[in-house]
Chains A and B, each alone.
Chain A
Amino acid sequence: MPDMRRTGSAHDPLWYKDAIIYELPVKSFCDANADGIGDFQGLHQKLDYLQSLGVTCLWLLPFFPSPLKDDGYDIADYVNVHPSYGTMEDFKTFLQAAHERGLQVVVELVLNHTSDQHPWFQRARSAPAGSPERDYYVWSNTKQRYEQSRVIFVDAEPSNWTWDPVAEAYYWHRFFHHQPDLNYDNPAVVREMLAVLDFWIDLGVDGFRLDAVPYLVERDQSSCENLPETHAIIKAIRRHIDERTPGRMLLGEANQLPADVRSYFGDGDECHMAYHFPLMPRIFMGLHLEDRQPIADVMERTPSIPDSCQWALFLRNHDELTLEMVTDIERDYMYLAYSMDPQARLNIGIRRRLAPLLGNDRRRIELLIGLLFSFPGTPIVYYGDEIGMGDNLYLGDRNGVRTPMQWTGDRNAGFSRCNPARLYSPVIMDAVYGYDAVSVEAQDSDTASLLYWMRNMIRLRQLFKVFGRGTMEFLSPSNRKVLAYVRRYRDDTILCVANLSRAVQPAELDLGAFVGLVPVEMLGYTEFPAIGTLPYFLTLGPYAFYWFELQRPRS
């Protein structure tokens, strides 16, 4: 029934370009029913907090029924809510409340694989070989097919093929062995996934994060990544969405080099957004080297994308800080710089939160968030990073960065009222990052806190569309510890200058293109001397960053 369909909640079809996305696992955010696991009712209670923080879009990690062997990315039912997180009713109430506050909601759509508990897989393994049911997944009698494709979870899986004794055949999985890959050569599978998409669209969800998109289709003699057939599937999905209701956003997760990721934008007919994976490690690297080169390099090597498309930028997320997209030497450097503790390493990456990675140095945290907010793209803030939450390396896999949100200094950090032993994960309790030291409540009452600073920064960034939509040009001052760039959009010109070093730095900027304009520092609205023909001289304090509006002088 077409009139039952709800339209997207944002008026502007390009809303994702001006968004600030807040990534959160429902499980870890707030527990309303005291069972130790966060739920939609709890999330609903905290919507006012999110609104006051100023973020405009929530990205929910998977909340579907699942055996939870991969934190919900192993889905056993695409069109329902995991009972631990609440009911479908709870989700609808939450969604409506979020929309009332002007918050968009993006959910996960794991296209590539299902859980081995999914009815489709249970049906497939017991169906005879060659039957339509069996054909939902990728089967083989030998492990020797698709040998050129790499194994991603090298620490956990020896091969991409696993023997299934019921089916008496090997099934294909790019990730864990309990996540068999769907067979996208089967049109029935595509139809099923479009139906799933329609289900959530009709509820009013504003966007989808397409998990692991490069791996949809497999072909012999290839790495089975980024294949043209895979792109055809994504195009079909996009076409389906646009025809049904425009204004919904597709965010593709393709952990690839920017040049390869570029193909996932198509000609503006595939994903609206995709992650910029290599930027994140290079920002950290540039900071540690006190050198802008790694950052400027990666941005200059970033291909241009269609006008309707947008990069998704992040500093940290629910996974490890992945180092797959950097060279061996860079990887070595990053391990030496940021994870002397081997506990912190996982697969090919570092599993830590933002604050611990930066030694809990407020100036460095502010600098990196300043960079994140002023680079061309839509920033993603990982839950807890707005208060500088810590992590717990002694929890396995990536669970150390998925601990309960720290709301107060009370029991269970105010996350839940249950017996502490019942929590899905222990709260952080160490002296530096523990919930008695780091919590929303504590920072809410302190105007000098990181939370306050974040609120103000978000408020400021939202005043200027140039950050989400503008172009970017790097300046090249001779001092390589200084990163300077100009963002432009329509009449707005913004100059950003950052000092990547722990010491005071001078910078001489060549602003010849802006002679006569007056830089006005954006936070305090302080006018600086007008730009002349000589290089513009600035002194930057340790880890300082400044944003200037370049304004025409008063007549």
Chain B
Amino acid sequence: MWAEIDQILRQATRQIADHVASFLPGVLVALVLILATVVAAALVRALLGRALRGLEFDRHADHLGLAVLLGWPSSTTSPSQTLTRVVYWTVVVLGLLLSLTALNATIPSRFALSVFQYLPNLLAALMILVVGAIAARFLSRSVLIGAVNMQIRSARLLSLAVRWLVLLIAVAMALDHLSIGRNVLLLAFGILFGGIVLAAALAVGLGARDAVSRALERQLQEPPRGDDEVNHV
């Protein structure tokens, strides 16, 4: 009887020891990973900070109107500080997830994996949105001025269209990166663009056929317009 108890106990101990033994390297690896992550993140932060300072990122961002456009909380955190901070925390989170995977716990690791797969998309999507917002603003003004100078009467409409088009494309691209409703999106855009093009074609073909042909004839017959010949300088 004692022998049995002893055996069971031994067995249990061995099992626990086995489990611990199999688990321990994972913990160690995780710890090492966490440590490495923190070091790496700090390193990346320092390097990036230095590089951005060297490139005078804040100054250029300011010149590009980046800060103003994004309504940056002025002077408390400069664009470069914000960027460094974002990168720092990204690295930290990635490292933590990696270390979870090392523990070989199925649920967190699966979660970690999916997050891993998703994260670059998330970042890219964010980037696209920011760039899109800036580009939309800049381009719409460019188009407005350009169209007015070309004496296009519906200049404002055009510039608004450009702004929303760029914004929409940016949003669509961002959503696409996040793989949210990819099919719906594709379909919606297809229908929208196809519809617009079709409508325009129909309008030109049916309604304004004469006007268009007249305009084309004019273009062909007298290529440069009268006042373009004047030397303004």
Contacts and interface: CB of A to CB of B under 8 A. Distances in A.
Direct contact of A and B (CB under 8 A): yes
Interface in B42-77: 53-54, 56, 58-59, 62, 74-76
A93 B56 CA distance: 11
Interface in B77-120: 78
A93 B53 CA distance: 9
Interface in A242-274: none
Contacts of A441: 74-75
A48 B75 contact: no
A324 B58 CA distance: 46
Interface residues of A, number: 12
A347 interface: no
A277 interface: no
How would you classify the secondary structure of chain A's contact residues: helix, strand, loop or mixed? helix
Among B62, B74, B78: residue with most chain A CB under 10 A: B74
Among B54, B58, B75, B76: residue with most chain A CB under 10 A: B75
Nearest to B59: A48
Interface stretch (A406-414, A477-485, A512-520, A537-545): A406-414
Contact of B53 (A41, A48, A408): A41
Given A41-B53, A44-B53, A93-B53, A408 B58 contact: no
Contacts of B56: 97
Contact of B75 (A41, A93, A408): A408
A48 B76 contact: no
Contact of A48 (B54, B62, B74): B62
Contacts of A53: none
A386 to B, nearest CB: 15
A440 interface: yes
A45 B59 CA distance: 9
Contacts of A408: 74-76
Contact of A414 (B53, B59, B62, B76): B76
A407 B53 contact: no
A417 B59 CA distance: 21
B84 to A, nearest CB: 11
A192 B188 CA distance: 78
A407 B75 contact: yes
Contacts of A48: 58-59, 62
Nearest to A97: B56
Interface in A390-417: 407-408, 410, 414
A407 B58 CA distance: 17
B128 to A, nearest CB: 29
B54 A45 contact: no
Nearest to B80: A45
A93 B58 contact: no
Nearest to A407: B75
B53 A410 contact: no
Nearest to B53: A44
A50 to B, nearest CB: 13
Among A45, A97, A440: residue with most chain B CB under 10 A: A45
Contacts of A44: 53
CB-based closest 7 A-B pairs: A410-B76, A408-B75, A441-B75, A408-B76, A414-B76, A407-B75, A414-B75
5 contacts: A41-B53, A44-B53, A48-B59, A97-B56, A440-B75
